[in-house]
Structure 1
Amino acid sequence: MAQVLRMPGVSANATEAVLAEWLVAESAEFAAADALATVETDKALVDVEAEAAGVVLKTLVTPGSQVEVGAPIAVLGGVGEQVDDLAALLRELGVAEESAPVVAERRDVHDQPVERTEPEVDPGSGAPLAEHAAVVEPASVEPEAGPAPATSASANGRPAPSPGRVFASPLARKIARDAGLTIEEIPGTGPRQRVLRRDVDAVLASRRTAPASESAPVASQGVPDDGFEDVPHTRLRRAVADRLATSKREAPHFYVRTTVRVGRLLALRAELNEALDGEVKVSVNDLVVKAVALAHERVPDLNVTWTDDAVRRWHTADIAVAVATDRGLVTPVLRDVGHRSVSSVAGAVPELAGRAREGRLRQEELEGGSITVTNLGMYGVEEFAAIINPPHAAILAVGAVREEPVVQDGSVVPGSVMSLTLSVDHRPVDGVVAARWLAELTGLLERPVRLLA
């Protein structure tokens, strides 16, 4: 039986989202839990999964459209279901006139307005083609001299794309832009020569294997240089800016700092990696994440968040890890770290970070927790203070491990040390609680065998 698929509420408090790409074409069947479409939120690309097997009877939203949560985006049918009068079905479902329920002008993946084009029409039925046409940006259309040539037919009987028009999925267009490619130079293998992600990947792979002289970009001639370049905000960059500005404005930050001796921690890491024999690779940051969870168990007054009516205390230690991506900062959350082994943490954190950089995190992986761990030690940063990631109550900034003189048994000896700075929201957490928590964390890192208990 036909039913309407509506834009899900993929992000907390969100009223709209961008439908980035259809993953199942019209008239194509799908299985339960198959991804039907990709939706872009402020934090990630989220797949919309099918609740049961069926067939896509009609898509109602063009890729790239910004859509209200709850608005119709497609009509789905049961397995093998066919509809003779699609227009009548749409009227019956109340979506006959809602072919594009957008809330704003169509925008690209960098949140920039793009030119609209009408969908191609099948000359036989007069209906729109199943594959929605992505638009070509105004600057990429070159004027042609002389009269336009007649439209030629493609191998499948449908008209070939008109000259100057290039069809591409939003994801392919984004990858091409980030790589410095123009979409017009990429041969498309999709329907009506639409450029897909695999086409962009193929071009990038060929350039990586080509000689440097062939792949080196040619400097443009005659283009005035104003001395700067404007990089448009991504949706994620804009969201991060708004969130952190709100944090500094509304959350009264205070900071506690300490220096930890990590000689034993480094020795434990080396021993663990030797024992695991390449199965997973334990990093210093993995051990810090585990220690943060155990410190939460010992000082639960820091495992809290602020609400308008109460201080909410969490029963499990869910730890967010800051990950830098091309689109901006993302903080996926690792669940119940206190009850995970160190090897489990070491396997889960890189996997989360990898999917964060690809924009493939699930929405639930971006929510929850009360503290974030952010580490700039790999860049040689010795100490820094971070802005709290709302609604968390704290963020731990981890610096680089460095060799310094330390006092041991009354003598000055070389030692490995690491600086930690805890930024805390003073609304739910008092200074003495933060000090107790940091002391517990220091003890765990300086006597790290307890991380394995």
Structure 2
Amino acid sequence: MTIDVLMPALSPTMEEGTLAKWHVKKGDAVKSGDVIAEIETDKATMEVEAVDEGTVEEILIPEGSEGVKVNTPIARLSGDDASAAKPAPAPEAPKAEATKAEAPKAEPAKGEPPPAASAEAPKAAAPTPAPARVAGARIFASPLARRIAEQKGLDLAQIEGSGPHGRIIKRDVEGAAPRAKAAPVAAAAPAGAPRPVQTLAQMGIPDGSYDLVPLDGMLKTVARRMTDSFRDVPHFPLNIDLEIDQLLAARVKINGLLEKQGVKVSVNDLVIKAAALALKQVPEANASYSPEGIAMHHHADIAIAVALEHGLITPIIRQAETKGLAQIALEAKDLAERARNKKLKPEEFQGGTFSISNLGMFGIKSFASIINEPQGAILSVGAGEKRPVVRGDQLAIATVMSVTLTCDHRVVDGAIGARWLAAFKALIEDPITMIV
């Protein structure tokens, strides 16, 4: 008995990944728990452990293959242990397939076929409509059948499988003809459906006038998630200016104290700490929308945006309100380094209750970010610069930093957002209050 090793879903949002490397080859013995491959998801590179035991019979997907869908067979094991894993279906599967394969051959030789055979013959010969499938249900098909279907442009959801338990096999797709294009269906799509994607040539940009950089898994995921968020979440921004001269002076003193420990606190680390404390002072802002109700989070798990060569990722500092500045600085540096090397674990970048995106180091004065669902808000931090300010009736010069709080109006309305910004402003402009 053989058993397929399937492409695992390494995160709740993973739909496909890149099979970066195999740690086994054909003929190798595999035990449960052995690392057999490395998979690159849209956010990280992770090791895959074997669940079953046996011998590697075949590598179905070569290393380096991109866009491998979740639950696609990537390898096949054989052996006594693999046989024991699924004892019941093993003897029946070949018989079921053999019976269906032999039935058409035996039918012409007999003048009067048995009633059961004659009843089944029209079903096999006539091109009847494909059975209705539940939307989103998994389609069972052999790897070879999937490859042939992809080459011929066939929709597996419209093909009836003749293999064991309705599995689509080679002969089901070899004789099938590509179905009509889905253009009429798209034209009849219900209101509110996504508009058809146009090519650049259709929009007036001729082929050959540009270089095309293929989308990797991360870019596809970021594009989809940001589109979904901007379309489905009611965004609105709140802007405020902060005077940060005292914050900068405090940072110099803090780094002087931490110099012997080899720790250096950045302005962003101070912003993270202040944001976490403000979320505890205004807990209504530390919330997420769900169809069941508003989730009020117990801790401030702050996600920090880290720019990669191609894409963006938001590793999370958990329970930031409980941590000192030195610990936040060390964690932020470690998470950013491992994020750029795609070495983060899923639990290190999934979730979070609040995000911070800082473009101040690029000289950006002010901007608004797209909310990272399911979080209720994201803070956009601009550059600190010398600006004229009015104190009483006098004109003065201060270092001012503009920030924008983008809110999900279903969770954080204008009043809640304004109260959070007031708490945040007080902490930033008088940083000693962060430790009182």
2:418 match? 435
Change (3 A) 1:334 1:27: farther
> CA offsets per residue over residues 393-424 of structure 1, 9 Å max, x none?
11110000101122346533321110000100
Q: What CA distance in whole angstroms lies between the structure 2 residues aligned with 1:33 and 1:353?
A: 29
- The residue correspondences of 1:133-282 to structure 2 (distance < 5 A) are 226-277=208-259, 279-282=262-265
3-state SS, counterpart of residue 365 of structure 1: helix
TM normalised by structure 2 equals 0.65
1:388 match? 371
Match among 292, 295, 313 for residue 312 of structure 1:
295
Between stretches 293-302 and 59-68, larger displacement belongs to 59-68
2:132 match? none
Asked if the contact 1:66–1:105 (Cα under 8 Å) also holds between the matched residues in 2, the reply is: no
Change (3 A) 1:409 1:321: same
Given residue 383 of structure 1, which amino acid in structure 2 is its aligned partner?
A: S
Asked if the contact 1:67–1:103 (Cα under 8 Å) also holds between the matched residues in 2, the reply is: no
> CA offsets per residue over residues 328-353 of structure 1, 9 Å max, x none?
11111111111111111101112111
> CA offsets per residue over residues 362-420 of structure 1, 9 Å max, x none?
11112111221001101101111111112211111000010112234653332111000
Asked if the contact 1:66–1:104 (Cα under 8 Å) also holds between the matched residues in 2, the reply is: no
Asked if the contact 1:4–1:72 (Cα under 8 Å) also holds between the matched residues in 2, the reply is: yes
Q: CA RMSD in A?
A: 3.6
Aligned pair 1:368/2:347, yes or no?
no
Q: What CA distance in whole angstroms lies between the structure 1 residues aligned with 2:147 and 2:288?
A: 37
Asked if the contact 1:42–1:239 (Cα under 8 Å) also holds between the matched residues in 2, the reply is: yes
Bigger radius of gyration among the two: 2
1:43 match? 43
More helix by share: 2
Match among 417, 421, 428 for residue 404 of structure 2:
421
Q: What CA distance in whole angstroms lies between the structure 2 residues aligned with 1:444 and 1:314?
A: 21
> CA offsets per residue over residues 234-269 of structure 1, 9 Å max, x none?
221121111111111111111111000101111111
3-state SS, counterpart of residue 383 of structure 2: coil
1:412 match? 395
Given residue 293 of structure 1, which amino acid in structure 2 is its aligned partner?
A: A
1:20 match? 20
User: What is the CA distance between 1:51 and its match in structure 2?
Assistant: 8.5
Asked if the contact 1:26–1:57 (Cα under 8 Å) also holds between the matched residues in 2, the reply is: yes
2:331 match? 348
User: What is the CA distance between 1:430 and its match in structure 2?
Assistant: 1.3
Aligned pair 1:302/2:285, yes or no?
yes
Asked if the contact 1:319–1:373 (Cα under 8 Å) also holds between the matched residues in 2, the reply is: yes
Given residue 44 of structure 2, which amino acid in structure 1 is its aligned partner?
A: A
Change (3 A) 1:230 1:8: closer
Aligned pair 1:339/2:339, yes or no?
no
Q: What CA distance in whole angstroms lies between the structure 2 residues aligned with 1:326 and 1:260?
A: 31
Q: What CA distance in whole angstroms lies between the structure 2 residues aligned with 1:342 and 1:329?
A: 24
> CA offsets per residue over residues 43-78 of structure 1, 9 Å max, x none?
3323335799x99756644222655545665578xx
1:293 match? 276
1:194 match? none
> CA offsets per residue over residues 186-245 of structure 1, 9 Å max, x none?
xxxxxxxxxxxxxxxxxxxxxxxxxxxxxxxxxxxxxxx944211111221121111111
Gaps of 5+ in 2: 95-139, 152-206
Change (3 A) 1:226 1:61: closer
Q: What CA distance in whole angstroms lies between the structure 1 residues aligned with 2:323 and 2:55?
A: 41
Asked if the contact 1:301–1:313 (Cα under 8 Å) also holds between the matched residues in 2, the reply is: yes
Q: What CA distance in whole angstroms lies between the structure 2 residues aligned with 1:21 and 1:245?
A: 31
User: What is the CA distance between 1:273 and its match in structure 2?
Assistant: 1.2
Q: What CA distance in whole angstroms lies between the structure 2 residues aligned with 1:99 and 1:305?
A: 39
1:400 match? 383
User: What is the CA distance between 1:42 and its match in structure 2?
Assistant: 2.7
Given residue 296 of structure 1, which amino acid in structure 2 is its aligned partner?
A: L
Q: What CA distance in whole angstroms lies between the structure 2 residues aligned with 1:99 and 1:354?
A: 41
2:119 match? none
How many corresponding residue pairs? 325
Q: What CA distance in whole angstroms lies between the structure 1 residues aligned with 2:12 and 2:254?
A: 39
Asked if the contact 1:319–1:334 (Cα under 8 Å) also holds between the matched residues in 2, the reply is: yes
3-state SS, counterpart of residue 43 of structure 1: coil
Q: What CA distance in whole angstroms lies between the structure 2 residues aligned with 1:377 and 1:103?
A: 52
User: What is the CA distance between 1:437 and its match in structure 2?
Assistant: 0.4
> CA offsets per residue over residues 114-153 of structure 1, 9 Å max, x none?
xxxxxxxxxxxxxxxxxxxxxxxxxxxxxxxxxxxxxxxx
Q: What CA distance in whole angstroms lies between the structure 1 residues aligned with 2:26 and 2:304?
A: 39
Q: What CA distance in whole angstroms lies between the structure 2 residues aligned with 1:293 and 1:31?
A: 45
Change (3 A) 1:42 1:400: same
3-state SS, counterpart of residue 218 of structure 2: helix
Change (3 A) 1:234 1:67: closer
Q: What CA distance in whole angstroms lies between the structure 2 residues aligned with 1:391 and 1:298?
A: 21
Change (3 A) 1:299 1:356: same
Asked if the contact 2:266–2:329 (Cα under 8 Å) also holds between the matched residues in 1, the reply is: yes
Change (3 A) 1:442 1:35: farther
Change (3 A) 1:237 1:407: same
Asked if the contact 2:272–2:356 (Cα under 8 Å) also holds between the matched residues in 1, the reply is: yes
Given residue 244 of structure 1, which amino acid in structure 2 is its aligned partner?
A: M
3-state SS, counterpart of residue 399 of structure 1: strand
Given residue 229 of structure 1, which amino acid in structure 2 is its aligned partner?
A: D
TM normalised by structure 1 equals 0.63
Gaps of 5+ in 1: 77-85, 107-112, 114-224
Change (3 A) 1:273 1:24: farther
